[in-house]
Structure 1
Amino acid sequence: MSTNNHYGDNVNMYGGSGNIGMIKNQGVVPAAPASPELEAAVRELLALLRELRPHIPAVSAQALDDSLPALTADAAAPVQERHRALIAVAGIAATIGAVGQPVVEAVNRILGLLSA
């Protein structure tokens, strides 16, 4: 007795020409909505960053601006990109001492919510 276990796609093509691919017809599972806590934490972080921006050097302000698009509660946001942006923002805030401490705390709160 033989058992064939097959996982994934199986394509057999016999003859023909111009065969260029296969139609998958698989639905996309919608991403779960972000939790209200995460949305509130991201809004708080963005407000803190607006307050922080005048206190940082121009080069750091540019790095902060570059990170802003990834700072979202959207569940479909690329995880690695969002994490990198959060770490960059926390690093910038940490370099200016006590003024940046609320930003560091907000980033830590978001990272905790994302890992939960």
Structure 2
Amino acid sequence: MSGGDNHYYGDNVNIHGGTGNTGIVHHHGPAADPAAASSALQEAVDELRLLVEQLRGQVPEASAEAIDDSLPAIRTGADAVPQDRHRALMAVAGIAATIGAVGQPVLEAVNRILGLLGNP
């Protein structure tokens, strides 16, 4: 066998130079409790719906219609389509961002939901 025949099983890390090297971060941890995650997600969605209802009266009619179109997709449960929910959350966040400080609580609620869904 020549020196170039290397066989690696599992992780293999080669670091050449640099500073502050921390190695491999696998992000392995205990699995999240689906019931707790589901409960937290439902609470976050309920909060967002309440905030959006309050926001709706403070935006132009076209934006209010866009909010109305988005709300059905922002739900939890087996029938929620992830792509549609994400698109709807982004639409609501975009509207909230255009109205400044009044929309900030809505932006924070959307970000909380995205974090719970694993879409930071």
TM-score (norm 2): 0.67
Name the CA distance, whole Å, in 1 between partners of 2:56 and 2:107: 14
| Per-residue deviation, 1:102 | 0.2
Unmatched segments (≥5 aa) in structure 1:
1-31
Which residue pairs with 2:69 in the alignment? Answer: 66
Counterpart selection for 2:54 from 51, 75, 79 = 51
Name the CA distance, whole Å, in 1 between partners of 2:41 and 2:113: 6
Counterpart residue type for residue 97 of structure 1: G
Deviations 1:38-68 (A, max 9, x none): 0000000000001001100000000000001
Counterpart selection for 2:97 from 94, 100, 103 = 94
Unmatched segments (≥5 aa) in structure 2:
1-33
Counterpart residue type for residue 104 of structure 2: Q
Alignment root-mean-square deviation, CA: 1.6
Name the CA distance, whole Å, in 1 between partners of 2:67 and 2:77: 19
Which residue pairs with 2:30 in the alignment? Answer: none
Q: What SS class does the counterpart of residue 35 from structure 1 fall into?
A: helix
Counterpart residue type for residue 59 of structure 2: I
TM-score (norm 1): 0.69
Which residue pairs with 2:113 in the alignment? Answer: 110
Name the CA distance, whole Å, in 2 between partners of 1:90 and 1:75: 23
* Greater relative CO (CA pairs within 8 A, separation 6+): 1
| Per-residue deviation, 1:74 | 1.6
| Per-residue deviation, 1:73 | 1.5
Runs of 4+ in 1 over 6 A off after TM superposition: none
Counterpart residue type for residue 107 of structure 1: V
Q: What SS class does the counterpart of residue 67 from structure 1 fall into?
A: helix
Instruction: Give the length in aligned residue pairs.
Output: 85
| Per-residue deviation, 1:108 | 0.2
